[in-house]
Amino acid sequence: MVIGSNIEIQYKLFKLLSYSKSQTNKAMKNPFPNKTSLLFFIFLSLTLAAAAQQTKSWTKKSAAKWMKSNEWKNGLTLDVHPSVNEVEFAKQYHKNKAEWDKAFAFMRDQDLSSLKPDKYVIDGDHVYAMITEAPSKTLEQSAWESHRKYIDIQYVIKGQEKIGVVPLAKATVLKPYDESKDFANYTAEGEYYIAKPGTFFLFFPDDVHRPNVKVDGYDVVKKLVIKVRMAE
C-alpha cells in the first residue's frame, strides 16, 4: 500500500518534525520521563526512516548496494536473476514493502514442490500466486508479453525453461494492451536465459518477457508466478 504522494509525505514529515522539535525541547529538560515519550521517539524514528526510503532517489549504485545487502530476502534462500532492473526493484519494494514481504514469505515458507496447480491468495488482489505444471512451448508457440497493473515474480520449481527479456522501448506492439487482462503482446528480439530452480525472475511494466520456451530434455515444467500490484 502506498502511503500517499510525495507532497503528502513531505507535509507529514514537516508536521512530525515540527512536533518532534517541541517534544525535543521538553525532553532536553526531562528526557524520556515515561514510557509514552520513549515510545513516541521510537515510532517517530521508524516513521521518518520509512518515509525517507519511499522518497529516496535510487541510482544504479545505491540500488545494487541495497540488493546485495539481502535485507529484502528476510530469510529467503532463492536468488534473483541478474537481468533484474535493480533500480525499479528498489523503488517498488520500498513503496510497497509489506506486499513484497508477503510475496517473499510465501516463497520462503511454502513447500513449493508439493503445492498443487492452483491460484493461491496471499493478500487479496494485491498479491496472489499461481502454480502451473504443464508442457513448455516451442519458440513459435510462445509470445512476448508485458503487464501494467502487476509485477511478475516467475520461478521454475521443477524442470527448466527459456525466458526471453527485452526493454519495452525495443519492442513493437503486436496486440495492444488489454486492461481487463493486464496484458499486451509484442514482436521483439531479446536476450534468452535459462530459468531453473534456485533463481527467480522479476518483470516490471518496462520488461517485455517471453516465458515458457522449451529446453531440450524438459517436457513438463512446474512453475510459480506471483503477481504483486504495482505501486504508483
Interval 78-87: pLDDT, tens? 999 999 999 9
| 80: CB partners within 8 A, 6+ apart | 67, 89, 199, 200, 201, 202
Cβ contact 144:166 at 8 Å = yes
In the numeric block, which cell numbers belong to residue 42? 521510537
Q: What per-residue confidence (pLDDT) applies to 48?
A: 41
In the numeric block, which cell numbers belong to residue 170? 525495443
Give φ, ψ of 86 to 5 degrees. -65, -40
Q: What per-residue confidence (pLDDT) applies to 60?
A: 96
Segments in the chain below pLDDT 70: 1-55
Q: What per-residue confidence (pLDDT) applies to 50?
A: 46
pTM: 0.78
Dist. CA 160–CA 126, nearest whole Å: 28
Q: What per-residue confidence (pLDDT) applies to 132?
A: 98
Amino acid 218 reads Y
Q: What per-residue confidence (pLDDT) applies to 151?
A: 98
